[in-house]
A and B are shown apart, each in its own frame.
With several copies, the nearest count.
Chain A
Amino acid sequence: MDLYQITDQPIDTVEILQGQGEPGAGAQVLFLGTVRNEFEGRASRGLYYDVYPQMAEAQLRKIGEELKREFGVLQVALVHRIGDLPVGAVSVAVCVTGGHRDETFAAARAGIDRVKQTVPIWKKEHWDDGTSAWHDDAGSST
């Protein structure tokens, strides 16, 4: 079953994996992005994710349909968590089921790249020194 979801709850990877099953499937690739304890060498306590929910879910669905069409894979799940996330939490899950590993790996990789490039979600770093700053904010003083 395809799944495209923005959620403020922990991402249930078990449910995502179990929701995917096709008789013609030979390969499944699950990518999980987790909150790191540093960014570009600077210590971090975690991230806050802002989202434009309706556009983001529509964009996840659009990416999934592209992946199935371009790579010929069978099923796609794209889930992004938003809100405040501590270090180690899963922020994004991409799960692709396909016939063979070539197209399944390629689609999963394209999937996470497109999620990061095109879905209206923004992250704010909670630095370990107590300050916070949005990523890609050219006008930020921190």
Chain B
Amino acid sequence: MATMRITVLFFSFAADRMNARERAYELEAPLTVGGFFDQSLAGPLGEPLAAWLFSVNQEWVSPDYLLQEGDEMAVVPPVSGG
């Protein structure tokens, strides 16, 4: 199995719960955003997949996106600008 390194950004209360705004992960490919969420993020974030949006390399992606070496993923809580 291939190993890939990704960076994950956290914002707002996701950052609070992760105690980090950015973390590096080393993962075994193939792995989707949803699979990675279940495996590594669901616990500390404390809310189910449906509570979040995800982006990779600054584009919105669905949970079935296949993560790639070097991806910058973000965990995006419901937005509240204005």
Contact = CB atoms under 8 A, between A and B. Distances in A.
In the complex, A touching B (Cβ < 8 A): yes
Interface of A: 33, 49-52, 54-56, 58, 80, 91-92, 112, 115-124, 134-140
Given A122-B79, A137-B77, 7 more contacts: A51-B11, A52-B55, A80-B81, A115-B82, A122-B80, A136-B78, A139-B13
Contacts of B77: 122, 134, 136-137
Interface residues of B, number: 20
B9 interface: yes
Most buried by A among B77, B78, B80: B80
A137 B76 CA distance: 12
A122 B11 contact: yes
A119 B74 contact: no
Contacts of A58: 58
B15 interface: yes
What does DSSP make chain A's interface, helix, strand, loop or mixed? mixed
Contacts of A51: 11, 81
B8 to A, nearest CB: 12
Contacts of B55: 52, 55, 120
Nearest to B46: A139
B38 interface: no
Contacts of A91: 81-82
Contacts of B12: 50, 122, 124, 134, 137
A138 B47 contact: yes
A114 to B, nearest CB: 10
A123 B81 contact: yes
